[in-house]
Amino acid sequence: MESLRACVFERYLPQNLKVRDPKTRKNYGHAFADFAAFLKREPDWADLNDETFAAFVNYLDLERDLAETTVNERAGRIKAFWTWAAKKRYVDQFPTIGRIPVPERLPVAWREDELVKLFNGCRMQRGYIGDVPAWRWWFSIHGWLWCTSERVGATLAMRVEHLRLDEGLAVLPAHIRKGRRKSMVYKLWPDLVQMFRAMLPPYTRQRELMFEWDEYFDRGTFYNRYDRMLQQLGLPHDRYRKPHAMRVSHATWTYLAGNDPTKALGHDDPATTRKSYLDPTLCRQDDLQLFRPWDAVPPPGAG
């Protein structure tokens, strides 16, 4: 029988119609590289058993000290392939090991003063990204994230042809968005349209990506520079405060404005929005809304 890793990339992934994103294939590569590092050799079919798999999960969790979500993601790739292999009868056993518990993380939105500081910080950036002044690039991408709540992945994949600036619209196709199933149409604020026009000809050269970068500015550089900018501004720069915080902020402040954050985010289930996108420290219920029954009780000796 062919090697386990060869089967993953030559049989399993090509037959899995849900795996269409190159990033997903890359993540399978990371998972099996971790599996090999744990075993200190190339994985083989005999390694697909509960004892070895449980030890692998503990290795990722305790020795590598990866985040719980990362552990479940890496282990989940191995389990998905293993389940497929068992259905194909390449192995006799199905996996029975579950996921490790993930602590519930509260969504954190930017406060109003933090948002002002962030946008002011964007204006202070120097140099160029491609042929666009860095300050304009950073200011405009934050303007887009704040106005639309779109994810960073789709934002960086957005093409100029997806914009209808004369109509004040952005039409993002499903294949560049998370899940690759749902397209989105965004109504652009007039000032955001002006930001975008200033990044396009005749002020710059023709290009395909709206937020294009040059050969020295890749996805990793984006996150590194973002982290450095937050540090320079004295803003929190933990992993959950990076660009995703703009999506959480949009949802939270949409809710506080009395509008529907679930619709704004394109979610189907309001529970998802409440759990993962509404900052409870800003959207807390005012305890004054609950009346105090003791207020109606006269103090001792009264009357």
pLDDT at position 216 is: 62
Examine the pLDDT at 1 and tell me if it is beyond 80.
no
Lowest mean pLDDT among 21-35, 190-204, 248-262: 21-35
Please tell me whether residues 28 and 142 are part of one structural domain.
no
Quick: pLDDT tens for 269-302. 999 999 999 999 998 755 445 666 777 677 776 6
Q: Answer with the one of 87, 102, 120 that is the final residue of a domain.
A: 87
* Dist CA 132 CA 177 (whole Å): 25
Are 144 and 222 members of one domain?
yes
Whether 116 and 234 map to the same domain: the answer is yes
Could you count the other beta carbons within 10 Å of the beta carbon of residue 124? 13
Pairwise pLDDT comparison (137 vs 216), residue with the higher score: 137
pLDDT in the model for residue 217: 62
Predicted pLDDT of residue 298: 73
pLDDT average, residue stretch 134-152: 95
Name the average pLDDT for the chain.
90
- Does the predicted TM-score (pTM) go above 0.85? no
| Residue at 8 is within a domain | yes
Looking at the fold, whether 143 and 218 belong to one and the same domain comes out as yes
Residue ending a domain, among 87, 104, 130, is 87
Crossing angle (nearest 10°) for helices 134-148 and 112-123: 150
Is 24's pLDDT higher than 90? no
Residue 252 lies in a domain: no
Q: What are phi and psi of 128, to 5 degrees?
A: -130, 150
What confidence tens digit (pLDDT) does each residue in 210-247 have?
998 876 666 778 888 899 999 999 998 876 678 899 99
Structural domain contains residue 292: no
Number of domains in the chain: 2
Residue 102 falls inside a structural domain: no
Within a domain: residue 38? Answer: yes
pLDDT at 93: 94
Write the CB contacts of 253 (distance below 8 Å, at least 6 apart in sequence): 109
Single-letter code of the amino acid located at 73: E
Res. 181 pLDDT band, cuts 50 70 90: confident
Residue 292 pLDDT = 66
Contacts with 197 (C-beta within 8 Å, 6 or more apart), sequence order: 165, 203
Same domain, 119 and 209: yes
Please report whether residue 297 resides in a domain: no
CA distance 246 to 26: 27
User: Which of 191, 194, 172 shows the shortest CA–CA distance to 181?
Assistant: 172
SS3 per residue for the chain: CCCHHHHHHHHHHHHCCCCCCHHHHHHHHHHHHHHHHHHCCCCCHHHCCHHHHHHHHHHHHHHCCCCHHHHHHHHHHHHHHHHHHHHCCCCCCCCCCCCCCCCCCCCCCCCHHHHHHHHHHHHCCCCEECCEEHHHHHHHHHHHHHHHCCCHHHHHHCEHHHEECCCCEEEECHHHCHHHCCCEEEECCHHHHHHHHCCCCCCCCCCCECCCCCCCCCHHHHHHHHHHHHHHHCCCCCHHHCCHHHHHHHHHHHHHCCCCHHHHHCCCCHHHHHHHHCCCCCCCCCHHHCCCHHHHCCCCCCC
> Does residue 233 share a domain with residue 120?
yes
Looking at the chain, the whole-number percentage of residues with pLDDT higher than 90 is 72
- Which range marks the domain in which residue 31 is found? 4-87
188 and 120 together in one domain: yes
Most confident of the following: 20-24, 38-42, 66-70, 280-284: 38-42
Region 48-71: what's the mean pLDDT? Answer: 93
Query: Which domain-ending residue is among 198, 216, 238?
Result: 238
187 pLDDT higher than 60? yes
Residues 123 and 58 in one domain: no
Residue 303 has pLDDT above 60, yes or no: no
pLDDT value of residue 178: 86
- Assess whether 79 and 9 both reside in one domain: yes
Q: Are residues 12 and 80 in the same domain?
A: yes
* One domain, residues 118 and 73: no
Q: What is the pLDDT of residue 290?
A: 60
Q: Which residue has the tokens 């029954």?
A: 293
Q: Which residue has the higher pLDDT, 278 or 178?
A: 278
As a whole-number percent, the residues of the chain with pLDDT over 70 amount to 93
The predicted structure's pLDDT at residue 286: 54
Same domain, 50 and 165: no
Q: What pLDDT is attached to residue 51?
A: 96
* Gap between the Cα atoms of 141 and 144, Å rounded: 5
Asked if the peptide bond before residue 293 counts as cis, ω within 30 degrees of 0, the response is: no
Q: What is residue 215's predicted lDDT score, i.e. its pLDDT?
A: 64
CATH number of domain containing 187: 1.10.443.10
Exposed e or buried b per residue across 129-149, where buried means at least 16 C-beta atoms within 10 angstroms of its C-beta: bbebbbbbbbbbbbbbbbbbb
The pLDDT confidence band at residue 19, using thresholds 50, 70 and 90, is confident
